[in-house]
Amino acid sequence: MSGLSCPRVALICGGPSSEAAVSRLSVGRVQAALRHHYPDLHVLELTPTIAVDLHRLAPDVAFPVLHGPPGEDGTIQGLLDIMQIPYVGSGVTASALAMDKLLTKQLLKAHGIPLASDLVVKREDGIDKAVQTTLAQLGSLVVIKPRSQGSSLGTSLVRQADELDVAFREAFSVESDVLVESMVPGKEATVSVLEHPTVMPLPVIEICLPEDARLTGYGYDEKYTPGRSEHIIPARLTDHQYQLCEAYAVKAFEVLGCRDFARVDFMVPDDQDPVFLEINTIPGLTPTSLLPDAAEAAGLAFDDVLVALVERALARGPAIRQNS
């Protein structure tokens, strides 16, 4: 534990994000796990008064348990940096980069990580143009997703041309810039990455969906509804594929400059190398989330992982104050 006899810990959740409900689910589990280790534990809602609330509380460390923008995109991280409050998770730059799926892919491409073919379409150009551009460049077997959102909100797996219109309407209702990717058939796998104390991949998890969900993919309901997905540990991959998932996950973590923890998602085609999908700098920590399952499979108690993350952030406090 830290040198502080009883450090004051602020958990930050909620806010105006479309993923606020998931954030509150995550923070409930984090709070339950940490309250026995840190009695001076507080939950703050991400509201326009968050700076005032943090100033009044004067925490020794903050733990943003936020999913999607604002919060996972570097905004709260910037505020905490200004207020000289050490915090769990990646800093401003890594958070902002990872939230932008296109920028992430552009960076990782230079480092040899396999990626799906893609294009970006804009709401202002209209749905008809989005459909035409997609069919001309990628065809009808695509995944359509908002450029900077998580939890699969606004994401659609499209198999036929006549499904594109509805998929774009749903994605544009969430964000003005939409990423379109060629659909990669295969197993969906995920690797949680943890600094404990050095960067290490946790066991690779294969996500298995019920029959009725396989046409639509691993969406919001499958992620957060108990029984809607199965986490198979270790993932049923070849040794080569498994090792590449681990290596690519760590590489993505390091290239983006992430810190403390993250989760990296892949599609793994039969007899081919894994294809990177996205990285999450604040992975879900709900009862159905993947990182807690991966930690357990690695022999790490969830409480111990969270305490280690808080202690890492607390240890950064003196350097933050010295450099101010």
Residue positions annotated with a catalytic role: 19, 151, 224, 263, 265, 278, 280, 284
Is the separation of the CB atoms in 61 and 52 below 8 Å? Answer: no
Residue 101 and residue 147 in contact, taking contact as beta carbons nearer than 8 Å: yes
User: Given the DSSP bridges, would you call strands 118-122 and 177-182 parallel, antiparallel or unpaired?
Assistant: antiparallel
- Residues 6+ positions from 30 with CB-CB distance below 8 Å: 11, 63, 65, 285, 306
Q: What are phi and psi of 42, to 5 degrees?
A: -135, 145
**Helix ranges (DSSP H) in 211-278:** 220-224, 239-255
E-strand spans in the chain? Answer: 9-13, 41-45, 61-64, 118-122, 142-146, 156-158, 177-182, 187-195, 199-201, 205-208, 230-232, 261-268, 275-280
Tell me the C-alpha distance between 221 and 115, whole Å: 26
At position 90, the amino acid (one-letter code) is S
Q: How many CB atoms lie within 10 A of CB 322?
A: 7
Beta bridge partners of 264: 191, 279
Contact by Cβ (8 Å): 260, 195:
yes
Q: Is 291 left (phi over 0), alpha (psi -120 to 50) or beta?
A: alpha
Cβ atoms of 64 and 71 closer than 8 Å:
yes
Distance between CA atoms of residues 252 and 244, nearest Å: 12
Q: What CA–CA distances, in Å, run from 205 to 13, 187, 189, 252, 306?
A: 26, 10, 5, 17, 20
